[in-house]
């Protein structure tokens, strides 16, 4: 049993090394050799855990998603209970955008994942399924908000889900300093105010 824990810890250490390389140098520089160097292991040791770059990326993104989920959970716990769905959506969107170092690293990992998936059919299916799952969770949150009377009953939850998730498209504007984080948060707040405005 202890040996299995060591293996998992090593895999996670490699995943974190991958995050750092992608965050600081970009996905194109995240070769297995460079990630091994960053993780402080030999290339052979890294290949013992991951047989390919795509496999390493998949595990790295899974770890990044778990980290994002953890941060979202911690922030939701700080809100009034149960949290208002508008506040929950704001937290979720805030963690999906590169608004702080942790979210920036995971955002860049997901961007690399999508780019790699465009040229790998098996990876594309994994990425697509993950996105469908995430989208379904947001849509359910919006449907619950409609049912509870926080959003107008005539709202089309599917369309509103797509519009909410479209806000994650602000990521490249933030990464390239086209807009400031405050502008992204203002856009999120303005959109959520309109969505939850019962007078419209």
Q: Are residue 34 and residue 107 in the same domain, yes or no?
A: no
Q: Are residue 106 and residue 164 in the same domain, yes or no?
A: yes
Q: Are residue 190 and residue 128 in the same domain, yes or no?
A: yes
- State how far the Cα of 154 lies from the Cα of 122, in Å rounded to an integer: 39
Q: Are residue 18 and residue 76 in the same domain, yes or no?
A: no
- State how far the Cα of 99 lies from the Cα of 89, in Å rounded to an integer: 15
Q: Are residue 38 and residue 104 in the same domain, yes or no?
A: no
Q: Are residue 31 and residue 90 in the same domain, yes or no?
A: no
Per-residue pLDDT for the chain (200 aa), expressed as one digit of tens each?
445 447 888 999 999 999 999 999 999 999 999 999 999 999 999 999 999 998 999 999 999 999 999 999 999 999 988 999 999 999 999 999 999 998 999 999 999 999 999 998 888 998 999 999 999 999 999 999 999 999 999 999 999 999 999 999 999 999 999 999 999 999 999 999 999 986 54
Evaluate whether 113 touches 65 at the Cβ level (below 8 Å): no
* Interacting residues of 158 by C-beta distance below 8 A, sequence separation 6+: 139
Helix axes 157-166, 121-147, angle to 10 degrees: 120
Q: Are residue 17 and residue 70 in the same domain, yes or no?
A: no
For residue 106, tell me if it sits in a domain: yes
For residue 110, tell me if it sits in a domain: yes
- State how far the Cα of 61 lies from the Cα of 7, in Å rounded to an integer: 18
CATH number at residue 31: 1.10.10.60
Evaluate whether 115 touches 26 at the Cβ level (below 8 Å): no
For residue 70, tell me if it sits in a domain: yes
CATH number at residue 180: 1.10.357.10
Cα end-to-end distance, the chain, whole Å: 59
Q: Are residue 47 and residue 113 in the same domain, yes or no?
A: no
Q: Which residues constitute the domain of residue 1?
A: 1-51
Domains in the chain: how many in total?
2
Q: Are residue 58 and residue 95 in the same domain, yes or no?
A: yes
DSSP labels, 17-47: HHHHHHHHH-GGG--HHHHHHHHTS-HHHHH
Residue 172, token pair as written in the block? 């490249």
Residue where one domain finishes, among candidates 18, 35, 51:
51
Q: Are residue 1 and residue 94 in the same domain, yes or no?
A: no
Q: Are residue 156 and residue 88 in the same domain, yes or no?
A: yes
pTM, to two decimals: 0.87
Q: Are residue 80 and residue 167 in the same domain, yes or no?
A: yes
For residue 200, tell me if it sits in a domain: no
Question: Among candidates 52, 50, 56, 65, which has minimal Cα distance to 129?
Answer: 65
């Amino acid at each position: 049993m202890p040996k299995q824990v060591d293996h998992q810890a090593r895999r996670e250490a490699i995943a974190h090394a991958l995050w750092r390389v992608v965050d600081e140098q970009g996905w194109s520089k995240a070769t297995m050799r460079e990630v091994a160097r960053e993780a402080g292991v030999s290339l052979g040791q890294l290949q013992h855990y991951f047989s390919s770059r795509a496999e390493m990326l998949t595990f790295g993104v899974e770890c990044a998603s778990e980290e994002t989920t953890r941060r979202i959970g911690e922030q939701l716990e700080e809100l009034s209970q149960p949290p208002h769905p508008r506040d929950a959506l704001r937290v979720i969107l805030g963690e999906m955008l590169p608004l702080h170092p942790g979210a920036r690293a995971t955002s860049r990992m997901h961007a690399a994942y999508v780019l790699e998936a465009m040229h790998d059919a098996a990876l594309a299916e994994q990425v697509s399924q993950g996105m469908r799952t995430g989208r379904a969770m947001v849509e359910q949150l919006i449907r619950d908000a409609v049912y509870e009377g926080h959003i107008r009953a005539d709202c089309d939850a599917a369309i509103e889900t797509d519009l909410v998730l479209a806000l994650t498209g602000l990521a490249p504007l933030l990464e390239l300093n086209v807009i400031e984080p405050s502008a992204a948060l203002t856009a999120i707040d303005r959109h959520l105010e309109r969505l939850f405005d019962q007078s419209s």
